[in-house]
Amino acid sequence: MSEAGKTTREGYRNRNGQVNVRRTNIPGNDHLQVVYVLKCGRCGAEYGANGSDIFQRKCPRCQGGMPGLPTSRA
């Protein structure tokens, strides 16, 4: 399985300690992506990210990462 396929599985933890919690059906802002909910293993913050970004994401609260994407429809 490719690295990209592993990152979209629930429970995947990237090198920055961010855990893939679940997939949403919300369109992301990268070509043909959907938003996934990530949880920071350090501070517990939850935020949205494109599936293509999971492998490199940093927490927007405690690691200076980019702001998260919406994880629900308003």
Task: Specify the pLDDT at position 2.
Answer: 56
Tens digit of pLDDT for each residue in 8-57?
999 999 999 999 999 999 999 999 999 999 999 999 999 999 999 999 99
Q: Which residue has the higher pLDDT, 35 or 1?
A: 35
Tokens read off for 61:
């609260």
Residue 73: pLDDT band with limits 50, 70, 90: confident
pTM attached to this predicted model: 0.91
**Which residues, listed in sequence order, are joined to residue 39 by a DSSP beta bridge?**
19, 46
CA distances from 17 to 8, 14, 29, 45, 74 (A): 15, 5, 23, 12, 28
